[in-house]
Structure 1
């Protein structure tokens, strides 16, 4: 196997094909509707883990001003390319910034903060989670809401062993090539509740030849979020909202 890259790293295929993967992921259906409920039209949202701009664009199209922050330069480049293709009135509602959600301070507040698609689970459950909740609280106006989409621990714990020969994703791309995804390695440890996987992306040309391969490490951590949120001054606003059978959106309020 080729050298394993971090997920969303420069030169990797997880960033290059993020939009194709998420578009096919039924477990995300309806997430934007949940986030859009947190800020009225004309309001402002800080998005932690903006990625390629999927949620950013959708919220901006609904009349919300969005500041999208991400640590990955590769993902932000895709988000900026997406922004440039939008109508000016939508593009002007989007600001993209590179930054670390565990240590961010933009010196302003927002009506809502969203942290979509397991972004918080990408960092170790402990100080990094506590610091991210503190970031959300620091950027929220009083009474503002923060939403975090987190994986379900029982799903992480009970995933089947890796089968490197069995594709978990196989789709034809717009240019006729195919994108095939394999789980090359998978382990779960508890404690800590940590799912570690190596996903291998393979691009196959129209003649059936594998022309690109990129094994990339994707790790998720999980813990009980309420105590860490409470330490930042955030209280659970409503019961967690199930999304797609794989995770829940937890919504907290700043007093």
Structure 2
């Protein structure tokens, strides 16, 4: 039997979208990232998140008293974020909103105390004009004295050998009774700094087993020149997130 076709990541009805929260909840490598972002703005301050996804970070910051705008380009991810927002009490829900937009080309007409580009969001794009446009947008939306944060993977982690394709990187039961097995079918890293993962999702339901393949692409690059060109200066050493890479910090110059 031939393999199912490889689908893009984060598409409507894709397994990466449907099980995003389940996978990230099990990922201990990113524990602590919300604390980092919460330390960038004053109490009750404003935060813009690029790559808000299903709202994991934006909603948590709103619960801590920040006023948050979460921006993402994937409608299916934003739909989940808005559903979770609707379950919150009015006081918290009123502090967060979600916007569909391309982070390389948007204008909200206002500035924020902090702008955060979370969990490898920038790495979905190749370094070059789109990184430059993203940093330009960050700079335009960052208040004077404000701090920007960009979370990126390390090159060594992207080059590392993948686990065997038969060994699951995650086995987890979903709240609806389904179980998810996640496998790395293949991983390549090019001289140009492009990493391609083919991920295999195996979903066991009450009556059937569904197997899908999705391609996740990340790019490696040095963000400092792009930040500098946009008018941002490095603000201390990057925050070490261990196996989850580093969070680069920049201040409005």
Normalised by the shorter chain, which TM-score bucket? over 0.9
Question: Is the contact between residue 164 and residue 182 of structure 1 (CA under 8 Å) also seen in structure 2?
Answer: yes
> What is the CA–CA distance in structure 1 between the aligned matches of 2:11 and 2:217, rounded to whole Å?
14
Shift of 1:21: 0.5
Partner residue in 2 for 1:39: 41
Once the two structures are superposed, the pairs formed by residues 119-134 of structure 1 within 5 Å of their partners are 119-134=121-136
Q: Would you say 1:249 and 2:247 are equivalent positions? A: yes
Partner residue in 2 for 1:172: 173
> What is the CA–CA distance in structure 2 between the aligned matches of 1:214 and 1:126, rounded to whole Å?
32
Partner residue in 2 for 1:185: 186
Question: Is the contact between residue 29 and residue 244 of structure 1 (CA under 8 Å) also seen in structure 2?
Answer: no
Partner residue in 2 for 1:202: 202
Q: Counterpart of 2:119 in 1: which secondary structure?
A: coil
Partner residue in 2 for 1:147: 149
Question: Is the contact between residue 145 and residue 254 of structure 1 (CA under 8 Å) also seen in structure 2?
Answer: yes
Pairing partner for 1:135 from 117, 137, 147: 137
Question: Is the contact between residue 26 and residue 244 of structure 1 (CA under 8 Å) also seen in structure 2?
Answer: no
> What is the CA–CA distance in structure 1 between the aligned matches of 2:97 and 2:147, rounded to whole Å?
20
> What is the CA–CA distance in structure 1 between the aligned matches of 2:234 and 2:155, rounded to whole Å?
19
> What is the CA–CA distance in structure 1 between the aligned matches of 2:112 and 2:105, rounded to whole Å?
17
Q: Counterpart of 1:57 in 2: which secondary structure?
A: helix
Partner residue in 2 for 1:236: 234
Point out where structure 2 has 5 or more consecutive residues left out of the alignment.
Answer: none
TM-score computed with the length of structure 1 as normaliser: 0.95
> What is the CA–CA distance in structure 2 between the aligned matches of 1:69 and 1:230, rounded to whole Å?
23
TM-score computed with the length of structure 2 as normaliser: 0.96
Q: Would you say 1:96 and 2:98 are equivalent positions? A: yes
Shift of 1:86: 0.7
Shift of 1:206: 4.6
Question: Is the contact between residue 111 and residue 144 of structure 1 (CA under 8 Å) also seen in structure 2?
Answer: yes
CA RMSD of aligned residues (A): 1.2
Question: Is the contact between residue 182 and residue 201 of structure 1 (CA under 8 Å) also seen in structure 2?
Answer: yes
> What is the CA–CA distance in structure 2 between the aligned matches of 1:56 and 1:242, rounded to whole Å?
21
Partner residue in 2 for 1:18: 20
> What is the CA–CA distance in structure 2 between the aligned matches of 1:244 and 1:171, rounded to whole Å?
23
> What is the CA–CA distance in structure 2 between the aligned matches of 1:239 and 1:63, rounded to whole Å?
27
> What is the CA–CA distance in structure 2 between the aligned matches of 1:51 and 1:225, rounded to whole Å?
22
Question: Is the contact between residue 179 and residue 203 of structure 2 (CA under 8 Å) also seen in structure 1?
Answer: yes
Point out where structure 1 has 5 or more consecutive residues left out of the alignment.
Answer: none
Instruction: Write out the 4+ residue segments of structure 1 that deviate beyond 3 Å after TM superposition.
Output: none
> What is the CA–CA distance in structure 2 between the aligned matches of 1:214 and 1:96, rounded to whole Å?
29
- CA shift digits 1:170-210 (9 cap, x unpaired): 112223321011112211002x1111011111111257x41
